[in-house]
C-alpha cells in the first residue's frame, strides 16, 4: 500500500494535469447541458438534457474529489510515511553471487563485533544474533531433511541465503534464500538426501540493502547416506 501511495505521489503533476483537463471538459458539458435544457420545448428533449446535466455534474464532483485526494496524498500522507517505506533500493537477486564491496567503516565495525563475539566452536565468521547458524552445529552429522536455525539480522538488512560446498572447495551451491530478517529462529530447510555423502561446509550469507555481502558464517558438517 505504501508503495502505491508513493507511486501516485511521484506522478502527481501528471495526475493533476489530467484532472484539470477533465474538469474543463465536465464544465463545458455542464454549460452545454444547461443551455439545451433551457432551450428545450418537448419533454423528451428536456429529459435528455437533464440526464446530460446530471452526468456532467457527477463527473465534475468526482474529479474535484480526486484532486483533493491527490493534494492530501502529496502534502500530508506521503511525507508522514516511515522513511524505510519510501527508500528506493535496487532489486536484488538473493541467489545470485554478490559482488559488492563493504566500506572500511562497516568492515571495522564487523571486525569489532567478531572479535567480541563467542561463535560456535568450529564455526568461522559467525556473529551471534546477527549472522549465525546455531543448528546444525559444527561437525554435526546430517541425514535427510534438516532444519536450519540461527540469525540473519545484520544492520541495513537486505536478504540472506545459505549455501553449501564440499569441504575445501569454493564451488558454492545455493540452497534457499529469505527476504525477512530472522533472529534466533528458523532460517529454512535443507534436503540433504540428494547430496553425495561426505564432508561439506555450510555457510550463511547476509547481504545489506545496497547489495554488499557481509562476512559469512561457515559451519562444517558431514552428510550421511539416506
More confident residue, 3 or 2: 3
The total number of structural domains in the chain stands at: 2
Residues 39 and 126 in one domain: no
Residues 139 and 53 in one domain: no
Percent of the chain predicted with pLDDT > 70: 78
| Sign of CA pseudo-dihedral 85, 182, 164, 225 | negative
The yes-or-no verdict on residue 106 having pLDDT over 60 is no
Which residue reads 564455526 in cell numbers? 123
In a domain? residue 94 = no
pLDDT the model gives residue 157: 94
d(CA 19, CA 123): 62
In a domain? residue 38 = yes
Domain boundary among 36, 58, 86: 86
pLDDT the model gives residue 41: 83
Domain boundary among 86, 121, 149: 86
d(CA 222, CA 208): 30
More confident residue, 106 or 22: 22
pLDDT tens-place string over residues 24-73? 998 999 899 888 888 888 888 888 888 988 998 999 999 999 888 888 87
Residues 8 and 54 in one domain: yes
Domain boundary among 58, 86, 114: 86
Residue 121's pLDDT band (boundaries 50, 70, 90)?
low
Residues 6 and 113 in one domain: no
In a domain? residue 98 = no
Residues 66 and 167 in one domain: no
Residues 12 and 61 in one domain: yes
In a domain? residue 79 = yes
The overall pTM is greater than 0.85: no
Residues 127 and 208 in one domain: yes
Residues 110 and 198 in one domain: yes
Residues 113 and 67 in one domain: no
Domain that holds residue 214: 104-223
Distances (CA, A) of 169 to 76, 173, 199, 200, 221: 55, 11, 11, 9, 14
Residues 219 and 116 in one domain: yes
Cβ neighbours of residue 156 closer than 8 Å, sequence gap 6 or more: 208, 209, 210
More confident residue, 198 or 84: 198
Q: What is the phi/psi pair of residue 162, to 5°? A: -130, 145
Question: How far is the first Cα of the chain from the last one, in angstroms, to the nearest whole number?
Answer: 46
Residues 152 and 75 in one domain: no
pLDDT the model gives residue 69: 87
pLDDT tens-place string over residues 64-80? 998 888 888 777 776 66
In a domain? residue 95 = no
Amino acid at each position: 500500500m505504501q508503495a502505491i501511495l508513493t507511486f501516485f505521489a511521484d506522478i502527481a503533476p501528471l495526475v493533476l494535469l489530467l484532472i484539470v483537463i477533465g474538469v474543463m471538459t465536465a464544465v463545458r458539458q455542464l454549460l452545454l447541458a444547461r443551455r439545451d435544457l433551457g432551450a428545450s420545448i418537448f419533454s423528451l428533449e428536456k429529459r435528455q438534457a437533464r440526464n446530460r446535466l446530471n452526468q456532467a455534474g457527477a463527473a465534475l464532483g468526482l474529479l474535484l474529489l480526486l484532486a483533493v485526494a491527490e493534494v492530501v496524498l502529496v502534502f500530508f500522507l506521503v511525507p508522514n510515511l516511515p522513511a524505510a517505506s519510501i527508500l528506493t533500493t535496487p532489486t536484488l537477486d538473493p541467489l545470485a553471487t554478490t559482488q559488492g564491496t563493504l566500506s572500511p567503516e562497516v568492515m571495522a565495525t564487523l571486525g569489532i563485533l567478531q572479535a567480541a563475539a563467542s561463535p560456535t566452536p568450529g564455526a568461522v565468521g559467525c556473529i551471534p544474533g546477527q549472522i549465525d547458524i546455531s543448528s546444525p552445529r559444527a561437525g554435526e552429522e546430517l541425514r535427510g531433511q534438516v532444519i536450519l536455525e540461527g540469525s540473519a539480522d545484520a544492520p541495513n538488512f537486505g536478504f540472506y541465503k545459505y549455501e553449501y560446498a564440499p569441504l575445501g572447495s569454493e564451488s558454492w551451491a545455493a540452497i534457499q534464500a529469505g527476504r525477512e530478517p530472522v533472529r534466533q529462529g528458523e532460517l529454512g530447510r535443507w534436503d540433504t538426501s540428494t547430496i553425495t555423502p561426505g564432508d561439506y561446509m555450510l555457510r550463511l550469507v547476509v547481504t545489506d540493502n545496497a547489495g554488499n555481502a557481509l562476512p559469512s558464517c561457515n559451519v562444517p558438517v558431514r552428510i550421511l547416506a539416506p
